[in-house]
Amino acid sequence: MLHQKFLNRFVIRQIIWTVVILYLAVTIGLVIFKGHNLLTLILPLILFFLAYTDAFQTKHTIRKNYPIIGRLRYILESVRPELRQYFFEGELDGKPFNRRERSIVYQRAKNEKQTVSFGMQDDPNRIGYEWASHSVYPKHISDFNFRTTIGNSSCKQPYSASIYNISAMSYGALSKKAITALNKGAQLGSFAHNTGEGGISDYHRSGGDLIWQIGTGYFGCRTKDGKFDGELFKEKTAYPEVKMIELKLSQGAKPGHGGLLPAEKNTIEVSKIRNVEPFTTVHSPSSHSAFSDANGLVHFIQKLRDLSEGKPIGFKICIGRKDEFIDIVEAMKTNNIYPDFITVDGAEGGTGAAPMEFIDYMGMALSDALVFVNKTLKEYGIRENIKIIAAGKVISAFDLAKNMALGADACYSARGMMFALGCIQALQCDSGHCPVGIATQDPLLYKGMDITDKSVRVATFHKNTMKAFGEFISACGFEKPTEIKPETFHKRIEHGKNLTFAEMYFSDKK
């Protein structure tokens, strides 16, 4: 068998070489003896060059064993994602978001037909299927502007936030036009826009409310050696559009992992926004230098509150070790210092780039994390002081309602808002070659984005999602998000058996 395979490989290689050499020889003969145009030599010379380089290179065995035709493997591999998405992907296939999920965002953003016909495509009998129980006495909701006030008794400038806001995405990860369109969309729709940890750019200041996120690099409020700079922080929190400050402890897609801004991406403009030296490699460490334990964290929160003159202060966390979060809660209780909000980022959250092991195998899923955070805060008697914001694959009315049933007061969406901008899930965010000009700094790619059109789409997506949310909870018998109960939601855990979220997550028998 091995001898036969070797023989086949040898024969194929010899056939390829024979065809290429004969083609080149015949073409040369036609040029010399028949007076054919010299341009006819271009193709055979190219084929000969490819065969020669394939035969004598040492990096790719397939190309060496099968000159020229071995290259087809790499060509087909490069277009595989496009072929799969456009020709072979079913409505419920595709990751992280399937076609139906992407389509509903596109339709709502464009204000097009938002209904489906003929029946459900999901299988209600599959294990893991989730659903909500409706009421025979549905409520009537006319105002879909659902909001929650963030700010406890220590907050001097509480913020009335929409229950659905734009999650953290930095300028640098996204293009200037994408950031501008998102912020203008937030202004049109009266919801908030999280800056991401890359600092407040001019593009973030296009009229929309901002949640300024501060990460371990303290971009925009750092000293030259990377430490927190209170004066710079105070200066920027005075911006009227900065409504809240979010301290990033960890991120769902890559918890415990730092970041790096390459020197070539650290342009003069980016360096000015982040307050770093231009054209130098800048590291975001995996942990904060301003504090090292739970007590340090809560005192730093109070410091930020004082410097911001009482604006809402919170932190973002992906739950990992439960004991560490409990330590933070105990430190809050001991010091009588409470953040105004906690953003719970699920492991299913998105990112522009992260190691596979962190994306797939690190961090707690959003549902479990929400329940844990909500229950822990209640057990310590401090839940009323802190609002919970959920982040991680929240794009539909069902996603919003489900997370609120598990304890969220509001939700974030990053990729949903990117779909509203026109993202096609090309999965090239880390390449710098985003084909629709969203996750790139290449002006040739983002120049085609119309800011006015895209900002309207972002606002329209938010508006239609809020309307869908209102219709959904009214069918369940609720008038307000605060009325949503975990008993309303169900999950199939095995064939012939469903449990309500209350039984799954809040039962004393667990």
**What domains, with CATH codes, occur in the chain?**
2-76 (no CATH), 87-128 (no CATH), 132-505 (3.20.20.70)
Per the omega criterion (within 30 degrees of 0), is the bond before 96 cis?
yes
Within 8 A by CB and 6+ apart from 425, the residues are: 85, 94, 96, 97, 102, 419
Q: What is the dihedral of CA 136, 493, 253, 484, to 10 degrees?
A: 20
- Among 352, 400, 426, 422, residue whose Cα is nearest residue 182: 422
H, E, C per residue of 141-177: CCCCCCEEEECCCCCCCCEEEECEEECCCCECCECHH
* Residue 245 vs residues 38, 109, 224, 237, 469: alpha-carbon distances, Å: 69, 28, 22, 8, 27
Q: What amino acid is encoded at 58 in this protein?
A: T
Within 8 A by CB and 6+ apart from 362, the residues are: 254, 255, 256, 257, 320, 347
DSSP letter assigned to residue 48: H
Cβ(113)–Cβ(107) below 8 Å: yes
pLDDT, one tens digit for every residue, the chain (510 residues): 544 555 466 688 788 888 888 988 999 988 888 888 889 889 989 999 998 898 888 888 888 888 888 888 888 887 887 777 777 777 778 789 888 899 999 999 999 988 888 888 888 999 999 999 999 999 999 999 999 999 999 999 999 999 999 999 999 889 999 999 999 999 999 999 999 999 999 999 999 999 999 999 999 999 988 899 999 999 999 999 999 999 999 988 778 777 777 676 777 888 889 888 888 877 788 889 999 999 999 999 999 999 999 999 999 999 999 999 999 999 999 999 999 999 999 998 888 777 888 888 889 999 999 999 999 999 999 999 999 999 999 999 999 999 999 999 999 999 999 999 999 998 888 888 899 999 988 899 999 999 999 999 999 999 999 999 999 999 999 999 999 999 999 999 998 899 999 999 988 654
What's the pTM value of the predicted model, to 2 decimals? 0.88
H/E segment holding residue 439: none
* End-to-end Cα spacing for the chain: 58
Cβ(239)–Cβ(205) below 8 Å: yes
